[in-house]
Structure 1
Amino acid sequence: MVPPLALDIDGTLTTPTGRIDPRAFELLPAWDAPIVFATGKAFPYPVALAHFLGREETVIAENGGVAHVEGETAIVGDPDAARAVVEAFRERGGEVGWGDGDTVNRWRETEVALSPDADADLLREVAAAVDDVEVVDTGYAYHVKSTAVSKGRALGVVADALGVGPASFVAVGDSENDVSTFEVAGESYAVANADDAARGAADAVLDEGFMDGTVSVLDGLRERAE
């Protein structure tokens, strides 16, 4: 039997240009074990991906701030503290950076995401003055979130609801926000485009990047299960 998967999305199921790699639609619908899509994006994004893949909507969003499994949604973290940090950042001249319409944050429930062009030094300085708030750099955004929130903690919640242990999961990811997932999963892989934090936490760093790396993991797991 193939193992359950905990898969990041950006940088892991995508092409280098940020598109969902079409191989996800070939390989993931038939995976004969649970798949958890674990992302820093707002809740609707991984739900939509699961829906269009024909998978159960088993997702972790907002870096662990939202977990959805078996039709139940758990919201974790203090969004007010994160929003207060961003407001103070703005008052000191910082910009969130997404422009008018900001769909990046429109549906976000537990954190605030800022453009990778935002002033990271200023943002971290402002966040450091607030208890239990941190800034996480995913390479695609700076996320201001509660320190009580992580993908790894959320994976424990999801695994418990599914009746399996977190250590039964194989995780694939590419950035700092995947470190906590790697720490609780039984087996973890960083794709070749991963940042230093993910590389240091993973059991193995792949030779291939983006979806190429994820495909190599899936192929290896299938061969092992045969």
Structure 2
Amino acid sequence: MVRPLAVDIDGTLTRPKPDRGVDPRVFDALRAYAEEAPVVVATGKSFPYPVGLCDFVGVPVRVIAENGGVVCIEEGGSDDPYGGGRFGDGIVYNGDREAAEAVAREYEAAGHSLGWGSVDLVNRWRETELAVAREQPLAPLEAIAADHDLEVVDTGYAYHVKSPDVDKDLGLETAAARLGYAPDEFLAIGDSENDAELFAVAGESYAVANADDHALAAADHVTDAGYAEGFLEALARVAE
């Protein structure tokens, strides 16, 4: 049986830094995998990004966004692999949006910037957490977040301010239930600290070679290649 797949975007489906683009080779790979089993895109990005990725790949909109803060699963039977636009109970929102917004206000009032410029597309559509550029001061961000009972997670691409009880494993539990699976039936592939939480509940996990120490320690397997090349290697190894 082909396991359903939960896969990260940044650092996993993308080209090596500093290129942020998705490697085009993953489009056909994701589409082919979705013909065999559900594919769930699990990312720290705000909700529209994974939805757009699914749409352009041509797979059902099955996403865990904002590190588990938003979950949306398009339904579809075995005779309808691309879903048909049915979303059951709709979108699940976790986390504390008001607390995240309060952290942003206090951080900026203290003289710091979120780091994304005057047009902040990183946070514009974010619904359950806050993302701060990694070039910005971390210590005051952590202190302000703690005052609001939030935590800061470094994904290697941004500092994410989120509720401590909201992460990708909660997102996978929600997504799996809607798809009729248990989390431990999933294959998970990722590269960072927020993916380590996903690995903890998935049945099999791969960290790509560029992964951070948290993900490397949590994964069942580590690929020889990094970034999208590592993702494709992981799929090839699973298929052997």
TM-score, length-normalised on structure 1? 0.95
Report matched runs for 1:160-171 at 5 Å: 160-171=177-188
SS at match of 1:214: helix
Q: 1:90 is aligned with what amino acid?
A: E
Report matched runs for 1:76-155 at 5 Å: 76-131=94-149, 133-155=150-172
With 170-179 and 118-127 compared, the bigger mean Cα shift is at 118-127
In 2, Cα distance between equivalents of 1:69 and 1:53: 16
State the match for 1:50 in structure 2: 54
State whether structure 2 residue 57 is matched by structure 1 residue 40. Answer: no
CA deviation vs aligned residue, 1:160-193 (integer Å, no higher than 9, x gap): 1100111111101111111110000001111111
**Which residue, out of 19, 22, 28, partners 2:21?**
19
**Which residue, out of 195, 217, 221, partners 2:212?**
195
Q: 1:15 is aligned with what amino acid?
A: R
Deviation, structure 1 residue 220:
1.5
State the match for 2:31 in structure 1: 29
In 1, Cα distance between equivalents of 2:217 and 2:105: 33
Q: 1:14 is aligned with what amino acid?
A: T
Question: Once the two structures are aligned, what percentage of the paired residues are identical?
Answer: 54
Q: 1:74 is aligned with what amino acid?
A: V
In 2, Cα distance between equivalents of 1:128 and 1:48: 33
**Which residue, out of 225, 232, 236, partners 1:208?**
225
Give the number of equivalent residue pairs. 222
The unaligned stretches of length 5 or more in structure 1 are none
State whether structure 2 residue 93 is matched by structure 1 residue 75. Answer: yes
The unaligned stretches of length 5 or more in structure 2 are 75-86
SS at match of 1:157: helix
In 1, Cα distance between equivalents of 2:122 and 2:15: 20
Q: 1:176 is aligned with what amino acid?
A: E
Q: 2:57 is aligned with what amino acid?
A: L
